Amino acid sequence: MRSFHLNVLGVVASCVVGALARTYKITNNCPLAITLYITGQNQGTLARGATITRTLDENFSSFIFTDANGGNADGSGTTRAGFFGPDDYYYAVADPAVRFNTGVLIQPQAPVTNGFCKPYMCDTKACNSVFTSPPTRFPPPSSTPPQLPLNACPGTNIGYNVTFCPSGAFPPDPAPTTLHPNGNKQKCLDVRGNVLQNGTPVQIYDCNGTGAQQWRIHWAGTYVKLGYTGFCLDAGRTPASGVGMKIWQCIEALPAQTWFYTADKRIAVLGKGQCLDLTRGSLTNGNRVQTWQCTNGNTNQIWTLGSEK
């Protein structure tokens, strides 16, 4: 028995010759179209309410996920539906650091029997039946169901239904929180004088609990918003190294306000290679922050959310 893979128009499909296979029905129940990934490969866009079917080798052991709502194409910051085909296991992995981009529901295409083949859902960041990182080993199969967050549906040629956003919505935005330079809980990202008008500089300042230091990172729109105001962190018309940061009235899809929070805790302007940067590394009150070329390991570009433990 042998199997081989085809990549046609960016869609990965497994053609199985003389071997068993599984059918995966993948549904987008999110409020927007999503980009789908299988085994880290882009499968294209799945429209809202649409379902696609993929036939994969029965030993398929990898992830199905989407980078919608602030996730990343490499799988970080995403809720991933995981499968370990040789032992009929299924589970989910969610990034524990900051994001919970979408909920996921996994339903075996088989009836529930003696505790096996149960539908499995993780739809909020608070769900406790989820792996916080991909498992590296699995227990041997048993006559009793495995302990959560691992699930099993033993049998031959049993497929799965995978639904993203089973509730029909993206998870709510996080509550406002402080942003600290490189984990320093004494210093906060701050709107100078708490002046809510276009062009007010954004600086570093002693944490004082005021609204000038409360920020929300909106994953779907990827903007960094000052609390529940209508003002957003703005990188200017031409983001570049050394440009001082300010707030500006939030404008949907404005490139200067389109940020993403990376897995290594940097706040980057989408597609520009520029990161929010603590100017000269100075923690002096009033030091205006800037954008600077994103650089791995640059501690001036690490920003820790106050909501993190």
Site of tokens 């379902």: 51
- Read off the amino acid at residue 115: G
Q: Check whether residue 150 and residue 197 sit in a common domain.
A: no
Question: With 50 as the cut, is the pLDDT of residue 89 above it?
Answer: yes
Q: Check whether residue 154 and residue 183 sit in a common domain.
A: no
Longest dimension (CA), the chain: 71
Q: Per-residue pLDDT averaged across 140-155, rounded?
A: 95
For residue range 26-71, what is the model confidence (pLDDT) as tens digits? 999 999 899 999 999 999 999 999 999 999 999 999 999 998 887 8
On whether the CB atoms of residues 14 and 60 are closer than 8 A, the answer is yes
Q: Give residue 11's pLDDT.
A: 36
Q: Give residue 9's pLDDT.
A: 29
Q: Check whether residue 184 and residue 158 sit in a common domain.
A: no
Task: Tell me the CB-side half-sphere exposure of residue 304, using CA atoms within 13 A.
Answer: 12
Q: Check whether residue 29 and residue 151 sit in a common domain.
A: yes
Query: What tokens were used for 7?
Result: 């990549």
How many distinct structural domains can be found in the chain? 2
Q: Give residue 261's pLDDT.
A: 79
Q: Give residue 24's pLDDT.
A: 98
DSSP state of 83: E
Q: Check whether residue 204 and residue 57 sit in a common domain.
A: no
Q: Give residue 114's pLDDT.
A: 95
Q: Tell which of 111, 131, 164 closes a domain.
A: 164
Q: Check whether residue 251 and residue 300 sit in a common domain.
A: yes
For residue range 17-37, what is the model confidence (pLDDT) as tens digits? 445 899 999 999 999 899 999
Q: Tell which of 132, 164, 196 closes a domain.
A: 164
Calpha distance 232→64 (Å, rounded): 33
Q: Does the residue 251 lie in any domain?
A: yes
- Read off the amino acid at residue 177: T
For residue range 227-281, what is the model confidence (pLDDT) as tens digits? 989 999 999 988 899 999 999 999 877 889 988 877 788 899 988 999 999 999 9
Q: Which is higher by pLDDT, 119 or 129? A: 119
Classify each residue of 52-66 as buried b or exposed e, where b means 16 or more C-beta atoms within 10 Å of its C-beta.
eebebbbebebbbbb
First to last CA, the chain: 50
The count of residues in the chain is 309
Q: Tell which of 136, 164, 192 closes a domain.
A: 164
Q: Check whether residue 262 and residue 198 sit in a common domain.
A: yes
Q: Check whether residue 155 and residue 23 sit in a common domain.
A: yes
CATH number of the domain to which 159 belongs: 2.60.110.10
Please name the residues in contact with 27: beta carbons below 8 A apart, sequence gap of 6 or more.
Answer: 49, 50, 51, 161, 162, 163, 164
Q: Does the residue 170 lie in any domain?
A: no
Instruction: Map residue 68 onto helix, strand or coil.
Output: coil
Q: Check whether residue 155 and residue 188 sit in a common domain.
A: no
Q: Give residue 8's pLDDT.
A: 29
Instruction: Map residue 129 onto helix, strand or coil.
Output: coil
Range of the domain at 192: 179-305
For residue range 162-171, what is the model confidence (pLDDT) as tens digits? 999 999 998 8
The phi and psi torsions of 111 (rounded to 5 degrees) equal -70, 150
Q: Which residues on adjacent β-strands are paired with residue 31?
A: none
The pLDDT-based confidence of 76 (bands split at 50, 70, 90) is confident
For residue range 201-226, what is the model confidence (pLDDT) as tens digits? 999 999 999 999 999 886 655 689 99
Q: Check whether residue 194 and residue 158 sit in a common domain.
A: no
CATH number of the domain to which 282 belongs: 2.80.10.50
For residue range 267-300, what is the model confidence (pLDDT) as tens digits? 999 889 999 999 999 999 999 999 999 998 899 9
